[in-house]
Amino acid sequence: MPRRSRYLSGTLIASALLLTSVGLGTVAANAGPTETAEATGPAVHAGHTMAVSTKSSPEDPDGDGYIPANPPVTGVSPSTKEPPHRYFHEFQANCSVTHTAPDDPIVYAQQPGKSHDHTFMGNRTTNAYSTTASLDAGTTTCLAPGDRSGYWMPTMYNGDKPVLPVGPQVIYYKAGVTDYTSVRPFPKGLRYVVGNPMQSATEFRNHKGFVEGWECGDSFFNVDFPKNCPSRPDVQVNIRWQAPSCWDGKNLDTPDHKSHMAYPVVNPGTNNNICPADHPVALPMIEFKMAFPVNGDLSKLRLASGPSYSFHYDFFNAWDDRTLKAMVDHCIVGGLQCDARGYDQTHPEAGAALNDRYELP
């Protein structure tokens, strides 16, 4: 079904903002930039509970927070080309909820129960001890068996009752840059946090990942949960939120879980979206479109991370390399609007990247 597909730029967030997951606590709506967390334990700044983000793990044995890519991607310059216009260059990863747990294998690796509660999708095995190897060996609720990635976000509550998305959720993989032909697959093991659970309402609204905020019925662009949500079976609370899509080519993770990634910037010469020079590698732009089965009175709605504007999510890539490359090349580089098997109904002549079992033919 046709729908809007776009990259929305917003005000740049202060570089000191820490994109990490935190325990549920008081979130100051007018708090400013925060300081880097110390590895010794939580510290309180401006009413926020800071996250411990450094601890030794199988993939980060020295616990410095850096996980280098092996091999790194070098010799890449941001593409300023403008290929033939195609309104769509995307595919979907449709993944269902697997479980909830107070774990976060990115921010609180090897520390079970340390995080606020998360709702996990995709890989069934995701927990505090997850590594690239463990996810690669796991199974998935994504329609494509080759997508063993972990996707998670703070659990939503209506009062004390969890509100869990039902059925496969829409996770778009899009081109965030104008030259969609320059987009390449994620490196195995890449991980990052999108958004900031400690952001203020204004920072949430002005974040580059903001698309339409919280939606319900005919109410869009909300920072807070909508106050008027029709009590109808077909109405749910939705949010759309986009991830950065430019990579430094060097690190699969960094101590703040965000510095190795960047949002595209506008090339002043052409007004095209390009990757910045220090993050020149164009990767797919993930966009969460989550649907929560709740409507009517939303006065008791909250997130495990705090208020509505504390929304954020995590991504840990564990796609089968060949499957992901087939989807990226066919759908994003090919300028198509694909479903979860890489098929574009408006271009049946292009065929599909995957077979009827969502696997490589």
* 227: pLDDT strictly greater than 90: no
Q: How far is CA 329 from each of CA 189, 319, 323, rounded to the nearest angstrom?
A: 20, 14, 10
For residue 287, is pLDDT > 80? yes
Mean per-residue pLDDT of the chain:
87
Please state the pTM of the whole predicted model: 0.86
pLDDT given for residue 228 in this prediction: 80
Residue whose C-alpha is closest to residue 323's, from 192, 190, 186: 186
- Give the model's pLDDT for residue 53: 54
How far apart, in whole angstroms, are the C-alpha atoms of residue 92 and residue 143?
A: 10
- Omega before 71 within 30 of 0, i.e. cis: yes
CB-count burial class (<10 Å; 0-12, 13-18, 19+) for 351: exposed
Domain regions of the chain by residue span: 44-350
262 confidence band (pLDDT: 50, 70, 90): very high
Condensed to tens digits (0 to 9), the pLDDT of residues 50-61 reads: 354 567 899 999
Residues 303-326: tens digit of each pLDDT:
999 999 999 999 999 999 999 999
Characterize the bridge pairing of strands 97-101 and 118-122. Answer: antiparallel
Q: What is residue 54's predicted lDDT score, i.e. its pLDDT?
A: 62
> Is the confidence at residue 47, as pLDDT, over 90?
no
Judged against a pLDDT cut of 70, whether residue 226 lies above it is answered with yes
Mean pLDDT to the nearest integer, 1-19: 34
In a 13 Å sphere around the CA of 310, the CA atoms on its Cβ side amount to 28
Task: List 174's β-bridge partners, or say none.
Answer: 90, 285
Residue 242: is its pLDDT beyond 70?
Answer: yes
pLDDT at 2 exceeding the cut of 70: no
Per-residue pLDDT at 139: 98
Give the end-to-end CA distance of the chain in Å, rounded to a whole number. Answer: 26
- The rounded distance, in Å, linking the Cα atoms of 313 and 303 is 12
Beta bridge partners of 253: 67
Which residues pair with residue 265 across a beta bridge?
A: 274
